[in-house]
Amino acid sequence: MASLFSRKVIAWQATHGRHSLPWQMRQGPYSVWLSEVMLQQTQVATVQNFYPQFLAKFPTVKSLAAAPLDDVLALWSGMGYYTRARNLHRAANQVMTDFGGEFPKTAEGLEQLVGVGRSTAAAIAAFCYGERVAILDGNVKRVLARVLAFEGDLANAAQVRLLWDKAIALLPTHNLKKTMPAYTQGLMDMGATLCHARAPDCVSCPVASICKASISKACEAYPIKKKKLKRSTESIWLLHATRKSRQGDAVLLQQRPLDGASKVWAGLFSLPPFASEAALQAAVPQALHPQLVFQPVFKHVLTHKDMWLHVVRVQLPANSKLPAVQGDWFALGDALLLGLPAPIRKLLAAQ
């Protein structure tokens, strides 16, 4: 089955796979790494918008490593999951200082870079060096679990390792420089365009005749994942203070610490946050309390957490200050160029 499977995937990729994604136009580990990290938690359509801008601003790993982190976060703004941008910057510096400016040439070496896990390292090594290593991102887990009717619970790390072993056994064995990139891309393309979580398009799928889940008409029973993510909730009060300046409205923003207890929005610029309404009120002079305007609360959904955002607006006279609130004043136009969390960007854009 192994060689039949890889041959079918490769043949399908040549005729039906994706060939014109922006990151497929360039070779080399830097651009592949960049696109793989962006694609880890962001939809292809969004990455297609961000990737060319990012590459234009940071065309080499050297330019990325030399850039201030704030510039990287600003350009990442809108893609979410900012830990990736912080890790990208750290990894670029690792490449420059620990690897003499060259990316490691094996998956094992690539895994030493911050933010590069086993699957991402395998994708880079397969695409750039033709190394015989298996990717296993969410989409590929779904494809392989269905093809093999894999009964293991993928919430269990030991079962994931077992599926990884099976993924390795399915890899091409010949002409690896050519077959590994095509096969790896083919699996990604099948996961993205055919083998959807709901209602997979088995009729168009090149491996339908050997896919155990499809043959037994039980596609949606796989992959098996029993453990549910535990979600938490958090309420934050955000002080949306504005004042007139020579360039129009200015807004008070606070850069969140990189090493604070909460990693949410670390390094980004936010409206000053408070843990409670009382804490916010205590930071604002008593005389301004009658001018505080409480906006309707809204929910911002993160992977593991629902954040309830309570925005409290206050308009201050020109040049006034809020000494008990940390932050800096930015003209609105300048603020929108900073690295901002998505809900804060939305609020400021609507200001």
194 binds ligand SF4 (CB under 6 A): yes
- Rounded CA-CA distance 193/58 in Å is 30
Q: How many CA atoms lie within 13 A of 195 on its CB side?
A: 29
What residue spans of 202-302 are helical by DSSP H?
Answer: 212-215, 277-283
9 binds ligand SF4 (CB under 6 A): no
Which range of residues in 31-39, 130-138, 205-213, 318-326 is near ligand SF4 by CB under 6 A? 205-213
The distance of closest approach from Cβ of residue 164 to ligand SF4 in the complex, given in angstroms and rounded to an integer, is: 18
- Nearest residue (CB) to ligand SF4, 186 versus 341: 186
202 binds ligand SF4 (CB under 6 A): yes
In three-state form (DSSP H/G/I as H, E/B as E, the rest C), the secondary structure along 249-274 is EEEEEEECCCCCCCCCCCCCEECCEE
143 binds ligand SF4 (CB under 6 A): yes
The distance of closest approach from Cβ of residue 334 to ligand SF4 in the complex, given in angstroms and rounded to an integer, is: 48
**Cβ-contact 346, 270 below 8 angstroms:** no
The distance of closest approach from Cβ of residue 130 to ligand SF4 in the complex, given in angstroms and rounded to an integer, is: 24
Check if 36 is active-site. yes
- Nearest residue (CB) to ligand SF4, 38 versus 145: 145
User: Pick the catalytic residue: 36, 102, 108, 111?
Assistant: 36
- Rounded CA-CA distance 345/155 in Å is 35
Tell me 117's DSSP state.
Answer: -
Residue among 126, 211, 236, 241 that touches ligand SF4 (CB under 6 A): 211
Residue among 34, 74, 107, 213 that touches ligand SF4 (CB under 6 A): 213
Structure tokens at 337: 């160029």
Count of residues that interact with ligand SF4, criterion CB under 6 A? 15
Which range of residues in 154-162, 208-216, 229-237, 343-351 is near ligand SF4 by CB under 6 A? 208-216
The distance of closest approach from Cβ of residue 120 to ligand SF4 in the complex, given in angstroms and rounded to an integer, is: 22
The distance of closest approach from Cβ of residue 221 to ligand SF4 in the complex, given in angstroms and rounded to an integer, is: 10
Residues within window 62-81 making contact with ligand SF4, judged by CB under 6 A: none
Residue 114 — φ and ψ, nearest 5°? -60, 130
Residue 314 — φ and ψ, nearest 5°? -150, 135
CB-based contacts of 245-249 (< 8 A; 24+ apart in sequence): 245/318, 245/329, 245/331, 247/331, 247/332, 247/333, 247/334, 248/331, 248/332, 248/333, 249/331, 249/332, 249/351
- Rounded CA-CA distance 165/176 in Å is 18
Closest CA to 189 of 2, 1, 21: 21
- Nearest residue (CB) to ligand SF4, 205 versus 238: 205
Residues marked as catalytic? 36
Positions in the binding site for ligand SF4 (CB under 6 A):
143, 146-147, 194-195, 200-202, 205, 207-208, 211, 213-214, 219
